[in-house]
Amino acid sequence: MTVTQPQAFAFRYDAFRLLLSAMGMGPRYARIELDADALRVRMGWAFTATIPLERITGAEARSGPVGGIGVHGLRGRWLVNGAATGLVAITIEPPVRARVGIPVALSQLTLSLEDPEGFLAALGRAP
């Protein structure tokens, strides 16, 4: 995967946008950045991770029901989203450390994106 210039991607938000914004996890406090070295994800105070690109072993669009809106996870699998659509699941091997108030292992990260196809293309995994 070759990223030539840093790129920013927006989280997708739906009906919970105002609530997440009030909780410090809305668009003003959230970002997804991809550069030549790493994917950096932040959703306000609730989630932050830096994932070296060489650790991303897979990425694919996802659909179907989600386990919630916001930041949720267990056993290395984390959902960081503002909507139930525009989802992309990223596989990370070996796992990296993320923070959700406390450090956690991160082996799979699912994000809701405004432009999931553009994000996958930037990762070199066009749908």
The phi, psi pair for 100, rounded to 5°, reads -130, 50
- Tell me the average confidence (pLDDT) per consecutive run of 10 residues in the chain, 127 residues long: 78 89 90 95 96 96 86 94 95 97 96 96 80
* Alpha carbons 117 and 94: distance in angstroms, whole number: 25
* Alpha carbons 90 and 78: distance in angstroms, whole number: 10
* Residue ranges per structural domain of the chain: 7-122
Taking the CA of residue 51 as centre, how many other CA atoms within 13 Å lie in the half-sphere pointing to its CB? Answer: 29
pLDDT of residue 112: 96
